[in-house]
Chain A
Amino acid sequence: MKVKIVLNGKTREDEINSDQLLIDYVRSHGCYSVKRGCETSNCGLCTVFLDGKPILSCSLLTARADGHRVETLEGLQKEAEEFGAFVADQGAEQCGFCNPGMIMNAIALFRENPDPSEEEIKEYLAGNLCRCSGYEGQLRAIKQFLEYRRRGGESCE
């Protein structure tokens, strides 16, 4: 079947299989930040935005994205780099495999709730699993980033 999807700002028309999942579609277009971590719709590694909302691309048929807008980390470089630097500064992750999914969902959180409480951060990111860390580094990075934004983009060092 044919689909027309706006992927990272570019309109693409493709011939796909009926049961292709969105994760395989975006990877076939070089978006390798999107990964499978669990196969049970639980880990959040495959997070992409569908019309601006974070979803699990491992669980959505590409056919259902027909006529919609899909964004991956590759399309959000500026936002991702800005926040990602804070994650790196905290040494938050060991292997980094979960990082793209977590950054995507953190960006979704910042857009939806620009001033979240610690509880709200934890609740929003509960669906992003990291098997190396205890999430403390990520939490510190998020708080520092929010503080940096509150100061209008100036370092809080």
Chain B
Amino acid sequence: MLKIKEYVKAESLEQAYELNQKKSNCILGGMLWLKMSDRTVQKAIDLSGLGLDTIEETEDSFSIGCMVTLRQLELHPRLNEWTNGAIRDCVKDIVGVQFRNLATIGGSIFGRFGFSDVLTCFLALDTYVELYQSGVIPLEQFVGIKRDRDILVRIIVKKTPVKCVYMTHRNAKTDFPVLACAAALSGQTDNCRGYVVAGARPGRAIRIEIGTEEVMRLRKGAYTKEDLRSLAAGLAKDILMDSNMRASAEYRSHLAEVLLFRCLSTLQERGGEV
């Protein structure tokens, strides 16, 4: 059972950071995963009074405060318009509306949980994290870093033109995914890149770049169904899978071929043009 000795509503990020340097203290996200732990927290640091619960759109990016809830992401018209609804798709099966009204993007991303739908989806976008101490770094780099005592302040999604899609397979509707996949074509016409992302492998999500030639073919809509199947199978081979209570590594590898094929087909159907 989670025990908290003292609740502190942070008055500044500086104060929160200083308090968080002590290992027995802890930053609160939505507290949904933290609540499942069996530990005693000396000081629970709440960031909810720092105005970090909004999504701001500027000319070149979306800036998402760490306390923005998954439900806010789901309902944000512009963010979903920009991502072809992928953001909504990645959160809609996470437990229920009541859960998503509490769970925060900061908690999801900072935790770098293997099962994370949110991490998988944002990795397919041109995403950066703003850390209080370490500054702004690409999300892909952040995923590889061990959890430390820094504070995730904002998630920044650059408005690089993007076509993207998100799909999962779940054993039961609101359970963790057995496998989560995202695919994206990103960038301007002369500098377009393609990515596939796999999460819930069950390890942390990883991103794999699609070759330049393949990206060109996708954008032109030049792939036949069979060609797309082999492209998906080739990409799936590079994704290391493992087994857990939900599924075996072998089953996940098979699922990856199917989900990536569907993701890539959807990208191509949407015209491939970014």
Q: Give A85 to B46 CA distance when docked, in angstroms.
A: 41
Q: Is B7 in contact with A1, judged by CB distance below 8 angstroms?
A: yes
Tell me if A41 is interfacial: C-beta within 8 Å of chain B.
Answer: yes
The tally of residues in A whose CB lies under 8 Å from a CB in B reads 26
Contact with A55, one of B6, B28, B102 (Cβ below 8 angstroms):
B102
Distance of B19 from chain A, by nearest CB (Å): 14
Q: Give A53 to B97 CA distance when docked, in angstroms.
A: 9
Tell me if A6 is interfacial: C-beta within 8 Å of chain B.
Answer: no
Query: Top 6 A-B pairs ranked by shortest CB distance?
Result: A127-B96, A19-B4, A18-B7, A63-B7, A54-B98, A56-B98
Q: Is B97 in contact with A19, judged by CB distance below 8 angstroms?
A: no
Contact with A18, one of B6, B32, B96 (Cβ below 8 angstroms):
B6
Q: Give A63 to B3 CA distance when docked, in angstroms.
A: 14
Contact with A60, one of B4, B9, B102 (Cβ below 8 angstroms):
B102
Distance of B246 from chain A, by nearest CB (Å): 15
Interface residues of B in 1-30 (CB under 8 A from A): 2-7, 9, 28, 30
Q: Give A55 to B96 CA distance when docked, in angstroms.
A: 9
Tell me if A42 is interfacial: C-beta within 8 Å of chain B.
Answer: yes
Q: Is B174 in contact with A127, judged by CB distance below 8 angstroms?
A: yes
Tell me if B99 is interfacial: C-beta within 8 Å of chain A.
Answer: yes
Tell me if A61 is interfacial: C-beta within 8 Å of chain B.
Answer: yes
Q: Give A53 to B69 CA distance when docked, in angstroms.
A: 12
Q: Is B174 in contact with A126, judged by CB distance below 8 angstroms?
A: yes
Tell me if B36 is interfacial: C-beta within 8 Å of chain A.
Answer: yes
Tell me if A131 is interfacial: C-beta within 8 Å of chain B.
Answer: no
B99 contact set on A, CB distance < 8 A: 41-42, 56, 59, 127
Tell me if A72 is interfacial: C-beta within 8 Å of chain B.
Answer: no
Q: Give A105 to B96 CA distance when docked, in angstroms.
A: 10
A1 contact set on B, CB distance < 8 A: 7
**Given contacts A19-B4, A60-B102, could you give 5 more A-B pairs where the C-beta distance is less than 8 Å?**
A18-B5, A56-B102, A64-B46, A126-B95, A127-B97
Q: Is B97 in contact with A105, judged by CB distance below 8 angstroms?
A: yes
Q: Is A55 in contact with B92, judged by CB distance below 8 angstroms?
A: no
Q: Give A56 to B99 CA distance when docked, in angstroms.
A: 6
Q: Which of A42, A105, A128 has the most CB of B within 10 A?
A: A42
A124 contact set on B, CB distance < 8 A: 97
Q: Give A19 to B99 CA distance when docked, in angstroms.
A: 19
Tell me if A157 is interfacial: C-beta within 8 Å of chain B.
Answer: no
A33 contact set on B, CB distance < 8 A: none
Q: Give A47 to B98 CA distance when docked, in angstroms.
A: 7
Q: Is B5 in contact with A127, judged by CB distance below 8 angstroms?
A: no
Contact with B4, one of A18, A41, A56, A108 (Cβ below 8 angstroms):
A18
